[in-house]
Structure 1
Amino acid sequence: MAIWLVLFITLFTVGESQTTNSFNQTDFEEAMTDMRSKSYYGFVILLKILNSQPNSLQTNDLTFLMPSDEELSQYSITPGQIHDFIFSHSIPTSLVLNHLLHFPNGSVVPSSLPSRVISITNSGRSGLFVNNAKIVTPNVCQTSFIRCHGISATLTFENDVPFRRAQDPKDPPKGSDVPHPTRSVRKMSIPPLY
């Protein structure tokens, strides 16, 4: 009986470790190298600060949406807001531009921060937009499983403006004049299955 218990625990542990996506530091370093090659230094600094915190990044299956250094320099982000900022500017799956182009116009996808969603709008010749920001530098991260795209502005979210310009808190974020659908997302409750 004891041998079966040991065998069962061993199989359970092996099976569990194979299904858990672990964070690969090499992929993370390669993604940051790609970001630096396109001058997204500010976003790299925020990622390094976040990565220095325990259990901050759990998986490499991410797509980062990166505002430019100029755009980041105009916003006040406190150390306590870095986690929410990075995760609200990421999608919890790896997506290259071609994947994003295949989403139906107006699709809403979750960000890595559960309380925020990202709307994808393909405006044809005007470009591809995520919420209020245009993707201006697609497919920056090419050498890792992490994907990243440069965007024209810091993302804004419906009914939520957590990050404001340092100059004038009343100014709307840069790029807010670009077309994007204004949609309210209804939360649905799923009845329990018996």
Structure 2
Amino acid sequence: MATTTVHQITMFLLLLISALASSLAAANVPASRSPDILVAIEEMQKANYFTFVMLINMAPLDLFQANITFLMPNDRTLSRAIIPESDAVNFLLRHTIPSALLFEHLQHFPTGSMIPTSKPDLMLRVTNYGRRQFFLNTSRLISPNICTRGSSVRCHGIDGVLQEATIMANASPPHTATSPPAASAAPPPSADPAPTPPRTGHDSSPLLIPPPAGYGGGSNSSNSGPKWGFSGSHWMCIIHLMMISVYVNLLIIA
């Protein structure tokens, strides 16, 4: 009778430990990319932006999930750029906007508007002279709306690499043939000062759009310390030791 009870207890403990091991193994499965990111990658490949896709695949899986706009230099442009593997994440952050924007949305930004990138404190200055002359800093947008199938990811092709040194608020607009000519002479002063015109929706003063809610940019100071924990292999070793200990104790009791 005692032998049967010990056997039942042994089987119960082994089943409990096996269930615990399965739950720990499931918890250590790496996260996957969001469906919208995977759909956008397919659209990039169809448009021959293979090098940019390679950079996305080099980045951590959780770097981009949704609500993002990619600004993609083409393969020829990237073949002339030197991007160390350690700088891939930094490069992608410079070439993304933390909001899903079609070109029809970008066209509403007047010249001088500032758009934030996913890299904190780095901004893109808009120079808007129409669909064929739309610049972000000194890079022209040449292939709009490449990624449109997903609901939260957009991407556009640009003709240059956005360098970190130029993505600042004081970046000067590029020179184009459609730029308005400078005035040849200043108008004569009037006797009475002109009244200040009211601000309207067509005001061309710089427009600064804030990042979306929840976008923190920098790291949280509460999470700045080192993180300690056991990996899946460590947990499996501990579980095996527990199983051996239980089995030995039951043999001693029997």
TM-score by length of 2: 0.52
- Which residue of 67, 75, 88 corresponds with 1:82? 88
Q: 2:37 aligns with which of 16, 24, 28?
A: 28
Report Cα offsets for 1:37-85 as digits up to 9, x if no partner.
Answer: 11100000000111xx25322x310000000000001111111111110
Q: Distance in 1 between matches of 2:166 and 2:126?
A: 18
- For 2:162, the equivalent position in structure 1 comes to 155
Name the CA shift for 1:177/1:91 in 2 (closer, same or farther; >3 Å): closer
Contact 1:63 1:147 in 2 (8 A): yes
- Partner-residue secondary structure (3-state), 2:70: strand
CA gap 1:131/1:159 in 2 versus in 1, 3 angstroms? closer
**Runs of 4+ with deviation above 4 angstroms:** 157-160
**Paired position in structure 1 for 2:122:** 116
Q: Aligned pair 1:56/2:63, yes or no? A: yes
Distance 1:65 1:56 in 2: 16
| Structure 1 residue 105 displacement after superposition | 1.4
Q: RMSD of aligned C-alpha atoms?
A: 3.1
How many residues align structurally? 146
Q: Tell me the equivalent position of 1:134.
A: 140
Gaps of 5+ in 2: 1-31, 177-254
Letter in 1 for 2:175: P
How far the C-alpha of 1:179 sits from its partner, in A, is: 2.8
Correspondent of 2:111 among 95, 105, 113: 105
Q: Is the 8 A contact 1:131 1:157 kept in 2?
A: no
Whole-Å separation in 2 of the counterparts to 1:71 and 1:177: 21
Report the Cα distance in structure 2 between the residues aligned to 1:88 and 1:26, rounded to whole angstroms. 23
1:37 maps to 46
Instruction: Find the aligned partners of 1:83 and 1:151 in 2 and give their Cα distance.
Output: 19
- For structure 1, the residue ranges without an aligned partner over 5 or more in a row are 1-22, 161-175, 181-194
Change beyond 3 A, Cα 1:61–1:125: closer
Q: How many angstroms apart in 1 are the aligned matches of 2:160 and 2:173?
A: 11
Give the aligned residue type for 1:135: L
Change (3 A) 1:177 1:75: farther
Relative to structure 1, the CA distance from residue 93 to residue 177 in structure 2 (aligned partners, 3 Å threshold; closer, same or farther) is closer
> Identity percentage over the alignment?
34
Instruction: Give 1:159 deviation, angstroms.
Output: 5.6
Q: Structure 1 159/93 Cα, relative in aligned 2: closer, same or farther at 3 Å?
A: closer
The structure whose Rg is larger is 2
Structure 1 residue aligned with 2:175, among 179, 183, 186?
Answer: 179
Cα pair 2:107 2:131 within 8 Å, conserved: no
What SS class does the counterpart of residue 140 from structure 1 fall into?
strand
Report the Cα distance in structure 2 between the residues aligned to 1:177 and 1:121, rounded to whole angstroms: 6
